[in-house]
Amino acid sequence: MTVKKKFNSFDELLAGSDLPVLVDFYATWCGPCKMMTPILEQVNEQMKDKLRIVKIDTDKYPHLASKYNIHALPTLVLFKNGQPADKIEGVIEGAQLVQRLGSLIN
């Protein structure tokens, strides 16, 4: 299950994490984004000790979408040590995502 938390800034969220952070850039009106929700919950269950998953609504935080060049939704960005390490645009299957993330965070 995902947990909603508030942070003063996105940079604070990244800096305060001792684990890599997978950010799901989405919009509430985006159909494919809704398809990613159960996939991300599945990935979270499998990788909760190795990874944090955070959802960012691009309509509420357009400056973050712009800063990280988010042009398609959904877009997943993996941050390691506060820096983008990988970007995935579009819907991806859970098993594929776990495999891709595993190779980057292990």
Catalytic site residues? 30, 33
Q: What DSSP state is assigned to residue 24?
A: E
- The number of residues making up the chain comes to 106
Instruction: Tell which phi-psi region holds residue 69, choosing left (phi > 0), alpha (psi between -120 and 50) or beta.
Output: left
**Cβ 9 vs Cβ 67: under 8 Å:** no
Cβ neighbours of residue 87 closer than 8 Å, sequence gap 6 or more = 68, 75, 76, 77, 78
